[in-house]
A = this chain, B = another copy of it.
Amino acid sequence: MSDDAAFRQSTEDFFYEQIPLTRAMGVKVASYSEGALVLRAPLAPNHNHLGTAFGGSLSVMATLAGYGLLWLELGDRSLHIVIRRSHIEYLRPVTGEIVARCSRPNPITFEAFRNRLKQKGKSRLELEVEIVEKDQVCVKFVGEFVALRD
């Protein structure tokens, strides 16, 4: 197994163990590079009454991409991370595999977040996630996450 495959496997194992819904949804880590985490999930366990991706599944994928990015960027899975609020826009139906991408915010914002966490033991950060299919943005998500040191 390559380092990259081993990394993806260990992140998936973490999701499956900690958040069992991710296993039922078939969530996979597609990639993590240059500060961007991409998750994917098949349509079959995630479809709705119209045969397209269920809004709830899309919301889960976006939320999970945000959590995942923070765990990976902070390099500490023992951190207490919660989501405080989120807003999601469903622009177009997703008709196949769900692919959710969360990118690290700009370096100044991210460093300020990290320093606040170090100094105050608590810090909040807004993360954006997009779900894209055939080069079209289908879902836009913005979530506010809070990290706390115990």
Q: How many copies does the complex hold?
A: 2
Is A11 in contact with chain B by the CB < 8 A criterion? no
Stretch at the interface among A46-54, A102-110, A113-121, A130-138: A46-54
Docked-complex contact B48 and A18, CB < 8 angstroms: yes
Is A25 in contact with chain B by the CB < 8 A criterion? yes
Docked-complex contact A90 and B80, CB < 8 angstroms: no
Docked-complex contact B24 and A45, CB < 8 angstroms: yes
Chain B: minimal CB distance from A27 (Å): 10
A-B interface, 10 closest residue pairs, ranked by CB to CB distance from nearest = A56-B60, A24-B24, A18-B49, A59-B59, A55-B83, A56-B63, A85-B89, A87-B87, A55-B63, A19-B54
